[in-house]
């Protein structure tokens, strides 16, 4: 079997800071077969890519364990996901309990600060369980880091608090009564760090609320018709083409097509569409959506990883597991951060002791430096914002494929827009049939028969208009990208397409040109039909209208208000394209564009220094989607477009284009804010601690606050919503409610 690329997802536990994430990443990258490894500290997930069959998941898990952490392979199974989430909840409760106990034991140690005496042996009794029992996790993690020739936040905390604890114990044993002790500098710092890590975990869990909401949509069982009976089976036992019965109020377990029944289906959590959508026989439904008041019989079309919901979850997870370019710089800083902090702490201690002759002040300064200088906030700033931002986007029906797509989206200044299906409804209707040399009904029969093998929206419109007519046999069909098609119908050779196709085939169009001009000036798309059997001659025109989407004008206005230049690139004729562009206020039009010409327009704009996005929904848009800095696919379009694009819009609402750019800008703003605050804490805090201006207790509080504030700031992205819509699209199903953590 030929080797291919394989992606493995892991849940990592035991990480406490950016140094830990970096060590896990290095351990995974060193495994044979791995080509790429990325670890997200905020979600505690790792994404690993490599060549099959060299890449072995068991080797990845072993590598993580050797680095001092725990790893579990994610299989995509819904039950496993629930178990992982339950384990996270249990760990969160346990950490909260530990933080509470540490606070209760260490709080009395602050009494001497307000003039209330506390015997030294009482301080020792209170501080010892905090230091050695509740704080044991820091020693364990620090030892694992040292054993791996690395350093992390746990090493800083354990060094700093141990120095204060041991020095205080020494003073208590060998000194006279009344000597100042520093048990508060050890126990209170540990209590504050435990509290900070618990609050941080709660906040990190909240950033992933959108993904957990998506995971919760996957039903466990389905009601399937088997041998005339309805039986409930595990979802994994459902096969493609099985008939699934969904009762009113139940969640749809599979993707499929409605065979019988009618209902209104709530797809808000999947597409962001706030209103329930009417569904009836022949219409597609999405697994995970909620059935209204009707009974539906559905023929299954996709299962497992091929379902729409599974693909959405996969895209969100991939985006959240990625690493922004700025994070790579932060990782390099974090790799040398802890050793530098230890050196600064030693220098502070030596300075106070050797130069100032104040040994106790040296100890306190060193402890303060070790405690305040924690790389946690640096490591969390980017992944926390990315997790919250991509989750907020998914809640509104905007799926961001990866971190690179998010980064490129916030830089965009030019958008190239396809017309059909992007700005228009994509459901054309025939308005005129103008025959030349034959009855109009015969022209319609020939054109409809020729297009039975085509999936183009114009072909669908002609077939719908010819509904009820007896069509001749289709002998041959050949698509001509960007121009139309060639066909043989009942022995007659036909060409159906635009003026360019007629010119290429040598069809004399002079007699019909004036009528075509009139239709195009009215905004119609004109389909030319010609007979290619000698003598080559035009057979007539079919006028088609594709109305603009109600929100298209607002969408273009939003882009212009954001300072983004718009270009309309369409295969339609110049007059029709000009009418559409004028209605929408788009200044530049590329009409009659073949797929290759759309690519050339994208590259021309890029050569001018523009950051260009291409928006489309068809197969013919795929090359331009790939050539652009970022492709944006309308989710109502083809799978080819969605697979090529960096961003997929789950609804056909063009306003989502501006929303996708807005959420990417908001996310990067939070990343910059988080990194600023993370750096400022250390830039101000470390010198202040080294100069003796901060006590260890204040340093511990500042360190805990830095991580919590950075994650809490990123968490504000959960409130993000498109400016044009005041009511969150996901509200009916409750995704906008704060997650319980």
Count CA atoms closer than 13 A to 594's CA, side-chain side.
Answer: 12
CB distance 394 to 719 below 8 Å: no
Catalytic residue among 255, 418, 572, 621: 418
Quick one: which of 565, 555, 644, 635 has its CA closest to 599? Answer: 644
Q: Give dist(CA 550, CA 289) in Å, integer.
A: 25
Distance in angstroms (rounded) separating the CA atoms of residues 355 and 476:
94
401 phi and psi, to 5 degrees? -65, -45
State the burial class of residue 107 (Cβ atoms within 10 Å of its Cβ: 0-12, 13-18, 19+). Answer: middle
Is there a contact between 462 and 540 (Cβ–Cβ < 8 Å)?
A: no
Which two structure tokens, joined as six digits, stand for 456? Answer: 């183009």
Q: How far is CA 533 from CA 94, 443, 507, 622, in A?
A: 82, 15, 11, 34
CB 679 within 8 A of CB 168: no
Q: What is the Cα–Cα distance from 598 to 618, expressed in whole angstroms? A: 13
User: Prior bond to 663 cis, omega within 30?
Assistant: no
Beta bridge partners of 612: 414
CA distance 305 to 227: 27
Structure tokens at 455: 């999936």
Are 655 and 554 in contact, with CB atoms under 8 Å apart?
A: yes
Instruction: Report the 10 Å Cβ neighbour count for 476.
Output: 12
Q: Is 266 tagged catalytic?
A: no
Cα-flanking dihedrals φ and ψ of residue 146, to 5°?
-65, -40
**Enzyme catalytic residues:** 418
């Amino acid at each position: 079997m030929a080797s291919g690329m394989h992606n493995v997802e892991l849940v990592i536990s035991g990480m406490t800071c950016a140094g830990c994430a970096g060590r896990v990443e290095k351990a995974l990258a060193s495994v044979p077969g791995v080509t790429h490894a990325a670890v997200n500290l905020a979600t505690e997930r790792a994404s690993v890519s490599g060549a099959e069959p060299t890449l072995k998941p068991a080797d990845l898990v072993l590598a993580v364990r050797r680095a001092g952490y725990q790893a579990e392979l994610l299989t995509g199974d819904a039950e496993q996901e629930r178990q992982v989430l339950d384990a996270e909840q249990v760990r969160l409760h346990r950490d909260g309990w530990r933080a509470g106990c540490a606070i209760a034991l260490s709080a009395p140690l602050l009494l001497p600060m307000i003039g209330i005496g506390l015997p030294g042996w009482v301080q020792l009794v209170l501080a010892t369980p905090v230091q050695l029992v509740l704080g044991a996790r820091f020693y364990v993690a620090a030892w694992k880091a040292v054993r791996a020739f690395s350093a992390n936040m746990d090493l800083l905390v354990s060094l700093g608090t141990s120095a204060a604890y041991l020095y205080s114990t020494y003073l208590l044993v060998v000194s006279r009564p009344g000597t100042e002790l520093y048990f508060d500098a050890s126990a209170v710092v540990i209590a504050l760090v435990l509290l900070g890590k618990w609050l941080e975990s709660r906040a990190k869990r909240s950033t992933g609320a959108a993904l957990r909401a998506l995971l919760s949509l996957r039903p466990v069982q389905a009601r399937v018709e088997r041998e005339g009976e309805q039986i409930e089976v595990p979802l994994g036992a459902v096969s493609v083409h099985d008939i699934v019965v969904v009762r009113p109020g139940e969640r749809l377990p599979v993707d499929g097509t409605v065979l019988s029944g009618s209902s209104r289906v709530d797809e808000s959590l999947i597409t962001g569409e706030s209103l329930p959508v009417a569904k009836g026989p022949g219409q597609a439904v999405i697994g995970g959506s909620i059935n209204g008041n009707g009974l539906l019989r559905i023929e299954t079309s996709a299962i497992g990883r091929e379902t729409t919901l599974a693909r959405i979850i996969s895209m969100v997870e991939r985006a959240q597991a990625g690493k922004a370019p700025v994070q790579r710089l932060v990782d390099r800083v974090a790799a040398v951060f802890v050793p530098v902090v230890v050196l600064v702490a030693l220098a502070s201690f030596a300075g106070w002791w050797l130069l100032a002759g104040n040994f106790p002040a040296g100890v306190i300064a060193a402890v303060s430096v070790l405690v305040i200088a924690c790389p946690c906030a640096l490591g969390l700033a980017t992944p926390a914002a990315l997790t919250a931002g991509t989750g907020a986007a998914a809640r509104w029906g905007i799926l961001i494929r990866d971190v690179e797509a998010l980064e490129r989206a916030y830089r965009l200044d030019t958008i190239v827009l396809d017309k059909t299906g992007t700005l228009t409804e994509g459901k054309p209707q025939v308005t005129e049939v103008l025959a030349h040399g034959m009855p109009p009904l015969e022209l319609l029969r020939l054109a409809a028969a020729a297009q039975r093998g085509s999936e183009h929206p114009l072909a669908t419109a002609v077939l719908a208009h010819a509904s009820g007519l007896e069509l001749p046999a289709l002998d041959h069909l050949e698509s001509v990208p960007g121009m139309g098609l060639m066909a043989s119908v009942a022995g007659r050779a036909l060409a159906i397409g635009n003026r360019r196709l007629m010119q290429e085939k040598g069809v004399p169009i002079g007699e019909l040109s004036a009528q075509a001009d009139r239709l195009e000036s009215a905004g119609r798309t004109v389909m030319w039909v010609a007979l290619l059997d000698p003598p080559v001659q035009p057979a007539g025109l079919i006028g088609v209208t594709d109305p603009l989407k109600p929100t298209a004008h607002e969408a273009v206005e939003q882009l212009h208000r954001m300072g983004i230049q718009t270009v309309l690139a369409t295969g339609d004729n110049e007059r029709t394209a000009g009418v559409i562009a004028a209605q929408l206020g788009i200044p530049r039009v590329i009409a009659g564009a073949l797929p290759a010409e759309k690519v050339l327009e994208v590259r021309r704009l890029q050569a001018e220094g523009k950051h260009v996005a291409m928006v489309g929904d068809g197969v013919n848009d795929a090359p331009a989607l790939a050539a652009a800095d970022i492709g944006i696919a309308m989710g109502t379009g083809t799978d080819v477009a969605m697979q090529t694009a960096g961003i997929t819009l789950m609804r056909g609402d063009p306003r989502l284009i501006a929303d996708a750019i807005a959420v990417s800008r908001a996310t990067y703003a939070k990343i910059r804010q988080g990194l600023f605050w993370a750096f400022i804490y250390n830039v101000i805090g470390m010198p202040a601690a080294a100069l003796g201006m901060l006590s260890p207790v204040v340093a511990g509080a500042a360190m805990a606050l830095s991580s919590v504030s950075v994650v809490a700031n990123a968490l504000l992205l959960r409130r993000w919503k498109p400016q044009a819509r005041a009511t969150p699209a996901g509200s009916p199903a409750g995704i906008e409610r704060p997650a319980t953590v």
